[in-house]
Structure 1
Amino acid sequence: MTARTDILCIGSVLWDVIGRSASHMRQGSDVPGRITRLPGGVAMNIAMTLVRFGMTPVLLTAIGRDAEGDELVRACLQLGMDAGHVYRSEDLPTDRYMAVEGANGLIAAIADAHSLEAAGAKILRPLQDGRLGSAASPYDGLVALDGNLTQSLLEEIAASPAFARADLRVAPASPGKAERLRPFLQHARATLYVNLEEAGLLCQTEFDGSDSAARGLIERGALRALVTDGGRNATEASAERVISRTPPEVLVTRVTGAGDTFMAAHIAAEAEGTDREAALDRALHAAATYVSGETPL
């Protein structure tokens, strides 16, 4: 390997356009609020939290060579990430995500990650050409991987020699993409980060809580699983041990990115050598602080 890095963040890096209102909303609601545009995407959200915990993430993603893409790359660099291995496409636009949130949570969202999907395996070239790894010397560090990639590319990653030594941390981009993670359900080096609904979709059943969901994933072959359930208990499980913790009670002011913050904080804690109980506590505290509207540190 020709480079050493703290962690690779592979997946969606795009612009988040989020409309938030303090009012309860339903279909057809027209209410006052605020609309923001910020760097986002699962891989980006994870990377931003990792930076706040002192890590230097390397982004592997697709960003267009358009004005929005140039602005996004500058934002990544200013935030302290390594964007030197990003695939920049001449003919694909920079991806976007749009969501509407009310006092009663996420109302609706649309993820336009078509450019990432179209770029496909091109985003992984640095892991094969010697910049970050090669067939002779595969990358052997941490990898945060998100489910915005296509099913075929995720299957390729699960079987690829380029990831044979990596510590894979995998999360779906949304419940609608949870089943894309099936190739990692019996993977020897993958830790799954899912919510209760996503765990049920992966196991093709319904669970009544994070404890049963995490156990269910382990029974179906997962190496390790972390399952969150909003303000209720979160569980981290492996074949050896099951740990559950209750998140702090906070006033929820935002929800988009909470799961990504949880995952990143947990990865950062374990990278520092924190034990399993403390790592889960730290991740839950970071996520609770994030949804309350504060900075998760």
Structure 2
Amino acid sequence: MTEFPDEHRSQPPELDVLCIGETMVMVTPEAPGALTAPGTSLRLSIGGAESNVAMSLAQFGVATGWWSRLSRDPLGRFVRDLIADHGVDVSGVRFDEARHTGLYLKDQSSGETRVTYYREGSAASAMSPADRGSLPRWRRILHLSGITPALSGTAGALVDELLRAPRAEGQRISFDINHRPALWDAREAGPRLRELAAQADIVFVGLDEANRIWQTPGPDEVRALLPRVAQLVVKDGPRAATAYVAGESFRVSTPPADVTEVVGAGDAFAAGFLAAELRGRSPQEALMIGHLAAREAIKITADVPVLPSFDALVRDAARIWGPGPATESPSPASLRRN
């Protein structure tokens, strides 16, 4: 593979958060409907779990960077520039012309969303441990997901190295399980994702995917599988989210919401939770902000919502849950951290 550094690369700012993972070009109908209907106008956008988190964090005023590999072609530059337009530092992105930028098509006919991916052999799948020395520096949180190790053996090896590397004081790694059945089945993904998650400091997982890959029917069973993770967040869709922190569990109910499309909700939740964490908020407050960020995401068909300010979400949380956290009282977790 021939690599070409970006000729416009600048010295990156000091980043609080660095997000690493593939972002693809997304092709959707301009208006909800069939992708191939006669006369349909198509729209180019982007989609990527880690860049979604980065763009949402940047809206909250967090100094955030995104790193990946892209092809040196118009689509690769389109991805990079659109992420940068959201206030995310992309100065570390690597370009090459031997591979393509991933692409996916979204069809929204028959009242459901169907997605077709063209990502095999993408530039991002060439991520490897050799890239580690070129990653931008980060001070507080490195955000990864379970999508990256499913892209290729070398991409998975990079995730392994990042999780196993010593953390400087104040540094933590966030890991979103993000199981994608189109990339690997549950039998293969389950043990591998558990192994990776166990090495992270903050883990996000949906109860539905946890049940699919680990056969865990409830949040406590997920905690039993990952007892040493310092902060484990289990999201149960329209019902509630539970955080296990320092031997205690905290549960916050999901607020009512109008749902247009659920894609991107988990990424917005992670961004809201991490933004609250970075501000020193309590686990209950972090869950509330996560819920409210996710509620903005499910209102729209795009993956990344235009978010209210962090302070506005804090006010919304007080209005919805009351001046004190309207949650279950902290209780001993199923398994305390040893």
Q: Which residue of 1 aligns with 2:142?
A: 143
Pair 1:246-2:253 in alignment: yes
Candidates 43, 54, 64, aligned match of 2:61:
54
Q: Cα distance, 1:256 vs. partner?
A: 1.6
Amino-acid identity (%): 24
Candidates 74, 83, 88, aligned match of 1:81:
88
- Matches for 1:61-80 after TM superposition, within 5 Å: 61-80=68-87
Q: With the length of structure 1 as denominator, give the TM-score of the two structures.
A: 0.80
Q: Deviations over 1:196-217 (max 9, x none)?
A: 1332355x2231x4x3344334
- Give the direction of change, closer, same or farther, for the CA distance of 1:217–1:235 in structure 2 (3 Å limit): farther
Q: With the length of structure 2 as denominator, give the TM-score of the two structures.
A: 0.71
- Give the direction of change, closer, same or farther, for the CA distance of 1:172–1:97 in structure 2 (3 Å limit): farther
- Give the direction of change, closer, same or farther, for the CA distance of 1:282–1:33 in structure 2 (3 Å limit): farther
Pair 1:258-2:270 in alignment: no
In structure 1, C-alpha distance between the alignment counterparts of 2:62 and 2:32, rounded to whole Å? 34
Partner AA of 2:27 in structure 1: V
Do the aligned residues in 2 keep the contact of 1:120 with 1:149 (CA within 8 Å)?
A: no
Q: Which residue of 2 aligns with 1:172?
A: 177
In structure 2, C-alpha distance between the alignment counterparts of 1:252 and 1:105, rounded to whole Å? 12
Candidates 116, 140, 156, aligned match of 2:124:
116
**SS where residue 15 of structure 1 aligns?**
strand
Candidates 184, 187, 199, aligned match of 2:196:
184
Q: Which residue of 1 aligns with 2:209?
A: 198
**SS where residue 141 of structure 1 aligns?**
strand
- Matches for 1:269-284 after TM superposition, within 5 Å: 269-284=276-291
Q: Which residue of 2 aligns with 1:17?
A: 27
Q: Cα distance, 1:164 vs. partner?
A: 8.8
**SS where residue 148 of structure 2 aligns?**
coil
In structure 2, C-alpha distance between the alignment counterparts of 1:71 and 1:287, rounded to whole Å? 26
Structure 2 unaligned runs (5+)?
1-11, 150-155, 309-338
Do the aligned residues in 1 keep the contact of 2:14 with 2:63 (CA within 8 Å)?
A: no
Paired residues in the alignment total: 278
Do the aligned residues in 2 keep the contact of 1:106 with 1:255 (CA within 8 Å)?
A: no
- Matches for 1:204-243 after TM superposition, within 5 Å: 204-207=214-217, 209=218, 211-219=219-227, 221-243=228-250
Q: Which residue of 1 aligns with 2:331?
A: none
In structure 1, C-alpha distance between the alignment counterparts of 2:39 and 2:233, rounded to whole Å? 36
Q: Which residue of 2 aligns with 1:40?
A: 47
In structure 1, C-alpha distance between the alignment counterparts of 2:293 and 2:110, rounded to whole Å? 20
Q: Which residue of 2 aligns with 1:7?
A: 17
Q: Cα distance, 1:22 vs. partner?
A: 6.4
- Give the direction of change, closer, same or farther, for the CA distance of 1:67–1:222 in structure 2 (3 Å limit): same
Q: Which residue of 2 aligns with 1:135?
A: none
- Which stretch shifts more, 118-127 or 86-95? 118-127
Q: Which residue of 1 aligns with 2:324?
A: none
Pair 1:155-2:163 in alignment: no
- Which stretch shifts more, 231-240 or 109-118? 109-118
Do the aligned residues in 2 keep the contact of 1:158 with 1:183 (CA within 8 Å)?
A: no
**SS where residue 202 of structure 2 aligns?**
strand
Q: Which residue of 1 aligns with 2:274?
A: 267
Q: Cα distance, 1:53 vs. partner?
A: 0.8
Partner AA of 2:20 in structure 1: I
Q: Cα distance, 1:101 vs. partner?
A: 4.5
In structure 1, C-alpha distance between the alignment counterparts of 2:261 and 2:239, rounded to whole Å? 17
- Which stretch shifts more, 178-187 or 96-105? 96-105
Q: Say which one has the larger Rg.
A: 2
